[in-house]
């Protein structure tokens, strides 16, 4: 196993993306991770690293990268947009296919990354498998949870009359605890409905890993999921998105590895 850090230029957009490659001795599969956003991106970091290293030991090359305006890639957080995200994902897929000389890619999406994985699979025919971890089942509810956390943060830090919305450079933004998100992005998230997207798929090789918070919605649709060759697995683990990086995700790592064998 070898690891490699790359700053790769997305020529279509003329900016550089940060990539972390976990190179296997042979490529049984090449898996691209699609990140969550906001502070969930930071909380999932340790899990991604542990999983990537275990995958590469089992001949699965892994590509992790940061979208433009997030993480270690170029750009400022207020420049985050879905137009750039879609360009970045397509660019990384094409780069990975060329570099590793393969025809099909596995996408492993986490939270918003899971919804993006489904969107990409609708417009490309080179996605072999989708592994979706905690997809956002209801975009409006997701935003409500984020705003509730924001209010709690203000109360805990005795912040009165906080500024939650900004406008500059002729664009409007909502502040999610330091992450300025364009209104267009917020509106996109509000319309997310993963259940509808998943149950409309019929191409198989889709695996959904979820904790108890999504149990009711997923089990309600389980017959449709089975009919469409979608495997849903209720995995018991800590609340991955509101706890620290020390959360034990050993079982989740093991489950993903089993799906790849």
Mind listing the pLDDT tens digit for each residue in 139-172?
898 899 889 888 888 888 888 888 899 888 888 9
Q: What is the mean pLDDT of residues 16-23?
A: 96
In this model, does residue 215 exceed pLDDT 70? Answer: no
**What pLDDT shows up at residue 240?**
52
Q: Choose the weakest-confidence range: 51-55, 80-84, 111-115, 251-255.
A: 251-255
Q: What is the mean pLDDT of residues 62-69?
A: 96
Q: Choose the weakest-confidence range: 47-56, 151-160, 176-185, 223-232.
A: 223-232
Q: In which band, very low, low, confident or very high, does the pLDDT at 7 lie, cut at 50, 70 and 90?
A: very high
d(CA 42, CA 139): 20
Question: Do the Cβ atoms of 139 and 189 come closer than 8 Å?
Answer: yes
Residue 124, helix vs strand vs coil: coil
**What pLDDT shows up at residue 247?**
63
The DSSP secondary-structure symbol of 169 reads T
Question: Do the Cβ atoms of 164 and 150 come closer than 8 Å?
Answer: yes
Q: What is the mean pLDDT of residues 184-191?
A: 93
Contacts (Cβ under 8 Å, ≥6 apart) of 185:
80, 81, 82
d(CA 82, CA 115): 12
Percent of the chain with pLDDT over 70: 79
Contacts (Cβ under 8 Å, ≥6 apart) of 161:
none
Q: In which band, very low, low, confident or very high, does the pLDDT at 89 lie, cut at 50, 70 and 90?
A: very high
> pLDDT by residue (tens digit) across 91-139?
999 999 999 999 999 999 988 998 899 889 888 999 988 888 888 878 8
d(CA 234, CA 84): 33
In this model, does residue 257 exceed pLDDT 90? Answer: no
**What pLDDT shows up at residue 174?**
93
d(CA 244, CA 43): 6
Q: In which band, very low, low, confident or very high, does the pLDDT at 25 lie, cut at 50, 70 and 90?
A: confident
Angle made by CA atoms 69, 239, 225, in degrees to the nearest 5? 85
Question: Do the Cβ atoms of 70 and 37 come closer than 8 Å?
Answer: yes
List the chain domain ranges.
2-137+193-259, 139-191
**What pLDDT shows up at residue 66?**
96
**What pLDDT shows up at residue 193?**
79
Query: The domain 2-137+193-259 is classified under which CATH number: 3.50.50.100, 2.60.40.1150, 3.40.50.1820, 3.50.50.60?
Result: 3.40.50.1820
226 vs 182, higher pLDDT: 182
**What pLDDT shows up at residue 43?**
82
**What pLDDT shows up at residue 12?**
86
Q: In which band, very low, low, confident or very high, does the pLDDT at 205 lie, cut at 50, 70 and 90?
A: low
Question: Do the Cβ atoms of 205 and 129 come closer than 8 Å?
Answer: yes
Tokens linked to 40: 């969930």
């Amino acid at each position: 196993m070898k690891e490699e850090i790359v700053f790769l230029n997305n020529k279509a957009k003329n900016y550089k993306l940060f990539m972390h490659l976990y190179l296997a001795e042979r490529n049984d599969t090449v898996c691209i991770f699609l990140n969550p956003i906001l502070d969930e991106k930071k909380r999932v970091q340790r899990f991604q690293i542990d999983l990537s290293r275990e995958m590469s030991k089992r001949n699965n090359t892994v590509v992790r990268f940061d979208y433009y305006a997030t993480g270690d890639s170029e750009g400022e957080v207020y420049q985050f947009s879905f137009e750039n995200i879609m360009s970045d994902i397509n660019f990384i897929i094409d780069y990975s296919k060329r570099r590793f000389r393969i025809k099909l890619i596995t996408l492993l999406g986490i939270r918003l990354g899971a919804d993006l994985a489904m969107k990409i699979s609708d417009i490309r025919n080179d996605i072999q498998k989708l592994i979706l971890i905690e997809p956002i089942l209801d975009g409006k509810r997701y935003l409500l949870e984020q705003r509730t956390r924001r209010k709690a943060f203000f109360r805990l830090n005795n912040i009165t009359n906080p500024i939650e919305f900004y406008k500059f450079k002729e664009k409007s933004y909502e502040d999610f605890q330091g992450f300025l998100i364009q209104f267009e992005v917020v509106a996109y998230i509000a319309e997310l409905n993963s259940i509808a997207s998943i149950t409309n798929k019929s191409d198989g090789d889709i695996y959904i890993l979820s904790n108890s918070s999504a149990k009711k919605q997923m089990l309600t649709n389980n017959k449709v999921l089975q009919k469409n060759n979608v495997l849903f697995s209720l995995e018991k683990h800590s609340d991955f998105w509101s706890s620290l990086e020390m959360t034990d995700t050993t079982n989740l790592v093991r489950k993903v590895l089993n799906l790849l064998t």
